[in-house]
Structure formats: structure tokens, C-alpha cells
A and B are shown apart, each in its own frame.
Chain A
Amino acid sequence: MTTVAVKPAITKPATMAQALNRAMRDAMAEDPAVHVMGEDVGALGGVFRITDGLAKEFGEDRCTDTPLAEAGILGAAVGMAMYGLRPVVEMQFDAFAYPAFEQLISHVAKMRNRTRGAMPLPITIRVPYGGGIGGVEHHCDSSEAYYVATPGLTVVTPATVEDAYGLLRASIASDDPVIFLEPKRLYWSKADWSPEAPAAVPGIGKALVRRTGTSATLITYGPSLPVCLEAAEAAREEGWDLEVVDLRSLVPFDEETVVASVRRTGRAVVVHESGGFGGPGAEIAARITERCFHHLEAPVLRVTGFDIPYPPPMLEKHHLPGVDRILDTVARLQWEN
């Protein structure tokens, strides 16, 4: 066996939080039009420390503590983008982005369209989302269904450290407004990663097969990816060889990767934390049914959060899709009528 000498990139354990921070830092260093803004993003570095050090390095005009007003933050970002800046807005928590929805839906999502392309808005809206951190109410919503239902928005969500960096860079570089959903439960997840020479990742709109398998496909994103990978390992004992697809981008949706996988395996389960009724899984299941009907050995099933307001921390483990619920659902794929 011959060995090829490759100079290894210096990798060290890095968290998703560090990768996100690095992405903003690199984007700001490269392009003076990039401005970070939000509540507590300056001296504090954000309540999750994702913007740590940016104000110090780039000044308060580039990383700005705004007044506490989400519509104002996003509305001001619209005006800044109208003037050629590329604002990166932090919404402190998923449920606190709601006051800004008027701006988001009526202006951010539509400005390109209503000006016949004359005025695109390159705004990145970072939203820490999802549960599993023991947060009190209004701190754990999975709000992706609202965003994906709004034409004009791009909606992405990383599940790995590499993607946190790569997708955030791509979002900031995008000429369209991007909802960048950060699975806050994964902020402290680690990977060997090189902050000095980050590996290139596929851009927005591309799903990735994170684990190949033959028996069925788990389709998931964001905080549920590690859960699905764990479920896939556990399923081996049951004789199931599961494929796991990480969507990475909800809009645009990489239908081809999903369809190709399901056509190979013949069975599919969609997994996400947000409620099932009207959730992204409903759309994905419908698309799979339309495109893979003759390949399917069983109906497309879903494992989702319950259709309830986000529960108190002590009960959230019952609400969130876990390995057991995924395995039970996979077992139901042995369809017989």
C-alpha cells in the first residue's frame, strides 16, 4: 500500500459556536459591507457568545448593540441593505423573532420581487432555534414552518461544525435574504475542524447523505441529525441499514437527493422537532409520494414534535423526537395490508 504525503490541515476540536463566530469574522474581514447587529451582540458577544469579539475587532459600527426591538432591528437592516450593506442580524431566540415577522414577510421577503429585481436585500437573519437545552418557554420554538411558507426567503440550517461555517459564509454572500436557523442544542457540539483553513462544503440548496444505507431513508435537518445518526446505528441491531439525509437547506429544497435516496431504499421517514401538522415534513412527504410512488414499499412516515406549544423543560424529552420513537416508526415501515 502506498501512502501519499498530504500536509494535514491543522485541525483541532472546534464547536459549532466557534465556527459560526469565525464565519462572521471572516466575512467581515473580507467585505466591509458586512455588518452584524442585534441585541447584546457587542460587548457581551451575544447571549450564546456567537458574536464574541466582533465588536472589539471591527468596532461598534460594524457589530452593533441595537435597542431592544426586533421589528426595528430587521426594519433598520432593510434600510441598510437598501443602501448596499450586508446586514447579519441576530434574533436572540426563536420566539423573539416574531415581533419582526411583519418586516420579514411584508418587506424582507418581497423587496426583490416588488421592485422587479432592482432592489435585492442581502440580509442574513440568524435565529437560534429548537429545544433540548432546558430553556423556559419562548426559548425553544422550532419556527421553521413559518419561514419555509414565505416565498422569497431562503431557509438553511446547519447540523455540523463544517456546515455552520460554510453555510453561514454562503448565506452572508447570498444576494437574497436568508433565514439561518442555528440549532442551539448543537452550539457546543464539537468536530475536528480547521478554523485557519476551513474545508469547503456544498453550498445552499444541496442536501447530503450523511450515512448510506439500504433499508430505509431518514430525512432530517438541524438538531435532529445527530439523533437520526444515533438511531441509524441502533437500528443495525434490528437488522435495518438506514440511510440518513441531512437537508441542510429547507428552501431551496434539494428534491433530487431526497428522491434518489428514497428510490434506492423504498422507504422514508422524515424527522424534525417542529410540530407535524403543517410542518416541513408534511411537504417533504408529499413530494416523495409524488415523485417516488412506484418505488415506495410503505407510506412515508414522520417523526415530529407534538402539535403542542413547546412544553416545559422537564417534559421536553417526551416531546422531542428521540431514538426510540424513530426506531418504532422505522419498524412500522414493514408495511403489510
Chain B
Amino acid sequence: MTVQELPGAGASHRSTPPPAWRPRTDAAPLLPDPEPYRVLGTPAADRLDPELMRRCYAELVRGRRYNAQATALTRQGRLAVYPSTVGQEACEIAAAMVLEEQDWLFPSYRDTLAAVARGLDPVEALTLLRGDWHTGYDPRERRIAPLSTPLATQLPHAVGLAHAARLRGDDVVALAMVGDGGTSEGDFHEAMNFAAVWQAPVVFLVQNNGFAISVPLAKQTAAPTLAHKAVGYGMPGRLVDGNDIAAMHEVLSEAVRRARSGGGPTMIEAVTYRIEAHTNADDATRYRGDAEVEAWKAHDPIELLERELTARGLLDEAGIQDAKDAAEAMAAALRDGMNAEPVLDPMDLFAHVYAEQTDRLREQAAMLRAELDAAEHEEGDGS
């Protein structure tokens, strides 16, 4: 007897499940393309908006300079730590560019550049990494959630906020960023599921930069692509070349548009690469070879766009120089801002724990006050 002949094995032996058990959607439109979507260097580039692309170029150059400056500040000890986005600038910048003023960005700890591209002062974006305040800006005013260090935990916040805005009848889209490693966290799954069930106006942007610290994607997931994960929740998954800012802008814009028009959430996997180490504290040579890094350097987001724009006569030497000058000005301002020692009041430790101070904290504040006064007194003695 073959397996096919076993009773119950053939389709004819199965009863039809009741209607509620049937899949509610055709999965095909939700599935990602087999290859990451690209625009630069393809015929699709014919329809590029020159003005938009020139802006993208200037932003990319500024973003690269921001990364270089922040890394330099780390070496000088001005920043405690900096997770670089060199190589990933197209993702960071496109994410900020596709949002309207009233929309919200939910960045992870790596995404300071996205916050800067959204208009946040670079110094304010870096207070967390400097060791100053945890969040150097008012999230409501900027519509940028605090940078989230626990991975993927900001994703359900984005869903909740977008849901709340929709309940209020406000036109607000939330764009939440997470790394490839973060997609393994429970909060990622819960957020995706909530967003789809609630049809919340959310865009999930996964930056697949190859590694979660040292762990490569193959050890993170067995899925064909991360974008495939979307299908199981009932939302479209999109696979895009994360170094191609034109493709990123287009795919993100489309997702934002869908969210805004009530079409629900989208999950986008941007395939990119982290050129530098995880942070300055990391030794990337322990887990990857130079050849791989060099191959990705040849697929640099700035060069991809520069090549396209110069070939089309949309960018010349003067334009390139302008972008560089603007980037230098930003870097100089960032250096100045970082060289100014932040003034911290230790008594602020007890502020903003509760709306009303508790007796316990009042007592502890008094203890610290006395210690500070005593220390000042000693200094005052000149001894």
C-alpha cells in the first residue's frame, strides 16, 4: 500500500472545512517580489523626478558626513557610543522624507540619522548616545518617538499611536524602523499582528543590514526573505534594494499612501549592509571578511545615485560641491554642539519620575542635596 492509498490520505477523504476556516485573503498580492526592487540603473529611472533626486542626493551626502562626524566624536570620547549607518543612509533618509509633518517616526537606537533627516538637530538626536539625557527632544513636538534601545519594542507603540490617531479621525501615519535581528523578537510579531488586525496606518521598515551585531541573517531566520513574514499577518511584504534611494522612496511612499488612505499596514524589507562595525566597541573582523565588505562598498548608495544623476545630466560638479559644503556646515555645527559641555543638574535625577514627587523621592533628593552642598563646601575651602 502506498501512502496515497492509505485511508484518509487522499483529498477525497477530507471533509471540507467550514467557511470560517478558509483563508480570508489570496496571499499572492501580499507576497514580495523574488528580487529586491530597484530603480537606479534600470529603465524605471527614466521617470525619476529630478528635483526630488537632487534633494535625495544632498541628504545622502549630509547623512554620510553625519555618520563620519559622529564616529569621529566617538573616537574623541565626546560620544559614549555610536551605531553607524554608513551604507544604510538611503534607508534612513527615505524613511524621513516620505513622512508628512503630522506623521510619526519610531526609530530604533541605530536610527539617529533618520531623526536628523526628519529635521531633528543632530545634537538633540545624539543626547542618548552622549550619555546626557535619554531623550534630548520633545517627542510630541517633533513627532519622533524616543530612540528605542530594547529591540522591536517601539513597534507596538507605533501601532497604538497610529490606531489612536485613526480613532480620532486624524490623518497620521506611523513609520517604525527595526533591524533584521529585531524581527525575531516577540514584539515584532505582536506589532505586525495588531497592525494588520486593526488595519492601523503603519509602515514597518526592516533594515536588513546583514547582521545583528555578529549574527548573520541565516542564523536569524529560516524564512525565504524577511518580507515574506508580512504575508502570514495579512499585509503586503515588499522587498527593496536598501541602497537605492529612488526605489526606497517609491516603495515607502506607496506604503505611506496605502496607510493614509485606509489600506492598512505594509512591511518593507530593505536589503542593505552595515559597512562599519556594529558600534565602536565591536570588532567586525571576527565575523565577516573584507571581500564581503568591499563588494558592498561597490554598491554604495551615494555612488549609485551620483552615477545615475550625472549620466542623465541632472547633477554636475557644482551640484556635488554644494552638497558637500552643506554637509560640512552641518558637521561643523555638530562638532561645536558636542564640544559644549552639557550642563546637568544632579537634582534633576528626581524630576519626572512621577507627576507628583513621592515622600520617598523627596527624602532621597534631600540626601543628595546635602551631599552636594557638603562637596561644594569642601571645594570652597580651597583645600
Asked if B381 is at the interface (CB within 8 A of a chain A CB), the reply is no
Chain B: which residue is nearest A78 at the CB level?
A: B157
Knowing that A76-B157, A80-B163 are A-B contacts, what are 18 other residue pairs whose CB atoms are under 8 Å apart, sorted by A's residue number? A66-B194, A67-B197, A75-B153, A76-B160, A79-B163, A80-B161, A82-B140, A83-B172, A85-B164, A102-B153, A102-B187, A110-B134, A115-B139, A116-B135, A117-B351, A118-B138, A120-B355, A151-B353
Cβ–Cβ < 8 Å partners of A253 in chain B: 358-360
Query: Does B210 sit within 8 A of A, measured CB to CB?
Result: no
B113 at the interface (CB under 8 A from A): no
Least CB distance from B194 to A in Å reads 5
Chain B 44-63 near chain A by CB (<8 Å), digits 1 or 0: 00000000000000000000
Alpha-carbon distance between A79 and B167 when the two chains are bound, in angstroms: 13
- B interface with A by C-beta (< 8 Å): 133-135, 138-141, 145-146, 148-150, 153, 155-165, 167-168, 172, 174, 186-187, 189-191, 193-194, 197, 348, 351-355, 358-360
Chain A residues contacting B159 (CB-CB under 8 Å) are 72, 75-76, 79
Query: A152 and B187: CB pair below 8 A?
Result: no
A176 to chain B, nearest CB (A): 5
> Do B164 and A84 have beta carbons less than 8 Å apart?
yes
A contact residues, total (Cβ < 8 Å): 48
Across the A-B interface, the 9 shortest Cβ-Cβ residue pairs: A79-B160, A75-B156, A72-B190, A76-B160, A114-B134, A79-B161, A83-B164, A79-B157, A80-B164
Interface residues of A in 48-81 (CB under 8 A from B): 61, 66-67, 69, 71-72, 74-81
Residues of chain B lying within 8 A (CB to CB) of residue A120: 355
**A-B contact list, 30 entries, CB within 8 Å:** A66-B194, A67-B190, A67-B197, A69-B190, A72-B159, A72-B187, A72-B193, A75-B155, A75-B191, A76-B157, A76-B160, A76-B194, A79-B159, A79-B163, A80-B164, A82-B161, A82-B164, A85-B164, A87-B160, A103-B153, A106-B153, A107-B148, A112-B352, A114-B133, A114-B135, A115-B138, A116-B348, A116-B352, A119-B139, A256-B359
A175: CB under 8 A from chain B? yes
Partner of A71, one of B140, B148, B190: B190
From A79, A106, A118, A255, B359 is in contact (CB under 8 Å) with A255
Contact indicator A117/B156 (Cβ below 8 Å): no
A113 at the interface (CB under 8 A from B): yes
A176/B355 contact (C-beta < 8 A), A76-B194, A83-B168, A107-B153 known: yes
Closest to A107 in B: B153
B139 touches A174 (CB 8 A): no
**Do the beta carbons of A112 and B353 come within 8 Å of each other?**
yes
In the bound complex, residues from chain B placing their C-beta under 8 Å from that of A174 are 355
Q: In the complex, what distance in Å separates the CA atom of A81 from the CA atom of B163? A: 11
A143 interfacial contact with B, CB 8 Å = no
Pick from B138, B156, B359: contact of A72, CB under 8 Å: B156
Across-interface contacts of A81 in B (CB, < 8 A): 160
Contact B164–A79 (Cβ < 8 Å)? yes
Indicate whether A79 sits within 8 Å of B162 (C-beta atoms), given known contacts A71-B186, A72-B156, A72-B191: yes
- Which residue of B156, B168, B348 is within 8 Å of A76 (Cβ)? B156
As a 0/1 sequence over residues 250 to 294 of chain A, the CB contacts with chain B under 8 angstroms (1 = contact) are: 011101100000000000000000000000000000000000000
**Chain A residue at minimal CB-CB distance from B193:** A67
Name the CB-closest residue of B to A103. Answer: B153
Give the residues in chain A near B351, CB-CB below 8 Å. 116-117
Q: How far is the CA of A107 from the CA of B152 in the complex (A)?
A: 12
Interface string of A173-202 (1 = CB under 8 A from B): 011100000000000000000000000000
Is residue A154 contacting chain B, with contact meaning CB distance below 8 A? yes
Distance (whole angstroms) from the CB of A287 to the closest CB of chain B: 9
A135 within 8 A of B: no
* A79-B156 in contact (CB<8A): yes
Q: Which residue of A lies closest to B106 (CB)?
A: A79
Q: Are A251 and B358 in contact (CB under 8 A)?
A: yes
Distance of A228 Cα from B31 Cα, bound (Å): 62
A312 within 8 A of partner (CB): no
A80–B351 alpha-carbon span in the complex (Å): 24
| CB of A99 closer than 8 Å to a CB of B | yes
The answer, yes or no, to whether A301 is at the interface (CB within 8 Å) is: no
Partner of A113, one of B134, B145, B156, B197: B134
Check B161–A111 contact: CB distance below 8 A.
Answer: no
In the assembled complex, the Cα of A76 lies from the Cα of B196 at a distance in Å of 13
Instruction: Report which residue of A84, A85, A116, A255 has the largest number of chain B beta carbons within 10 angstroms of its beta carbon.
Output: A116
B60 to chain A, nearest CB (A): 30
Q: Mark A2-13, 1 if CB is under 8 A from B, else 0.
A: 000000000000
The distance in angstroms between the C-alpha atoms of A176 and B193, with both chains bound, is 28
Shortest B364–chain A CB gap in Å is: 11
Closest A residue, CB atoms, query B192: A72
CA distance A183 to B162 in the complex (A): 34
With the chains together, A78 CA to B157 CA distance in Å? 6
A152, B148: Cα distance in complex, Å: 18
Most chain B CB inside 10 Å of its own CB: which residue of A99, A154, A252: A252
